[in-house]
Amino acid sequence: MVTRVLCFAILAVLIGQCVTRGSPPVPPQLQQEWNRRFAALQKTRVVWYLQHQRVLRSSPQQYTDILQQMERTASNVARKELQAQGVPKEQVEEQARDFARAFVSSTPLRPFSFQTEYEIHNHGDTLLLRGSEPAFSPQGVESVWWEVLYDKNAVIAHPTRWSLSGRSYDSHTFTRSLAAGAGTPRVRVWKRNINGALYRLPRFPVCITPELVVLLSGVSPMLLYQQEWSLQQEDAEKWVLAQRVGEGELAPFTLRMTFLKSKNGAPAAAEVVRDDNRYREVYRVTSWRLERGVWVPEAIHDVRLTDLYEERREWRLKHCGPVPSDNGFVIPKGMPVADYRLQGERITLDDVHTRGDLAVGYEWKGTLPTEDQLHRFRAKSANESVSQSGSTSTLWRILPPLLLILIGAYWYWRARRAERRA
């Protein structure tokens, strides 16, 4: 009897170890350092200066070929859609041409140089990010300013103001008639894991990754993806940990992070590599500052590599101080919302591109609807769900996935042509 009870007890312990996410193989000393850093950096407000640059990895001629092919495809798609909508024949060609030119001039594939500031409020259980991202229009590189709230059960992104086609707007006096019919930037809402885990989210603004949230704000690396860490290397100077992420945006990929023993276990470097090796991110802390008794990054170098371009970002810490009592996060009533919470926290951009009904659309009334209310919204007005592009225009709903297909087809065509010449 005692033997049987002992066996069941051992089995229960083993099962508990298998299902408990809170016990990854992180060295105890490093776990203590993480807890100490997290406690010290709560209730802090940090301000970062960012210099953001994108350079092409393809030749200028290759880039020109891509844009020309994009314009031809956009024009063909627009022409068919306009004809289907019953637009008079004499207006179809002009509107299709204007749309194609506007679409190509707004492509995010363009090289650019951009400077801005980011502000992060670390409240412990919630985070608030404020910053801007590049926006592309025929007039050049402009901006959209966002506030992103990591609440307990949701991530909410609010476009506070934007500058497009030489005009400025804000969410309090928004308009529904921006450049090329792209519509008003919408509030975006995603589900947040009950444990507060940080995941990559499709159509997430301000170019902030979960790795950057950890580096810039001081939150615990334990929140990254809620996957089990494995110790890859330990010596007198550092720990190197890794985890593999098999689900969600960008997956499958591997994350490796380096933590310095001389800097309170602070993350000093990170690398994200997709399994197909077609996408890579590298983060490296280049200088440090002592704040609240712990070391924090003062400068971070961030590089992203794709087949077509390379993005380089330099982050510099301008301020670290106490967080204000009121975060000032207010969404004006009436703002259009695209709510993705019913899809879970592991929704991907492929899901958004292949299905147009993933987001539930509604107008902001002052509070976040419950998920039961979202189900009722969807049942009541399924045909009013927000498109994946956040646009009121059918054309702008169709073009983004075609753009991805077009780029892939272009490179396949180049490879086949090279083979024939050889």
Of the chain, the percentage scoring pLDDT greater than 90 comes to 41
pLDDT of residue 164: 66
Spans of all domains in the chain = 46-220+288-422
- One-letter identity of residue 312: R
- Please say if the pLDDT value at position 275 is more than 80: yes
- Please say if the pLDDT value at position 10 is more than 60: no
> In 209-361, which residue ranges form alpha helices assigned H by DSSP?
210-217, 349-354
What span, in angstroms and rounded, lies between the C-alpha atoms of 297 and 286? 8
pLDDT of residue 94: 85
pLDDT band at 199 (very low <50, low <70, confident <90, very high): very high
More confident residue, 317 or 184: 317
Query: In this structure, are residues 311 and 42 in contact, taking their beta carbons and an 8 Å threshold?
Result: no
- Please say if the pLDDT value at position 419 is more than 70: no
What is the mean pLDDT of the segment spanning 293-299? 96
More confident residue, 162 or 315: 315
- Buried b / exposed e along 397-414 (16+ C-beta atoms within 10 A): bbbbbbbeebbeebeeee
Cα 53-54-58 angle, rounded to 5 deg: 155
Q: What is the pTM of this model?
A: 0.76
- Please say if the pLDDT value at position 178 is more than 70: no
What span, in angstroms and rounded, lies between the C-alpha atoms of 16 and 7? 14
pLDDT of residue 47: 97
- Buried b / exposed e along 164-195 (16+ C-beta atoms within 10 A): bbeeebebeebeeebbbebbbbbbbbbbbeee
- One-letter identity of residue 358: L
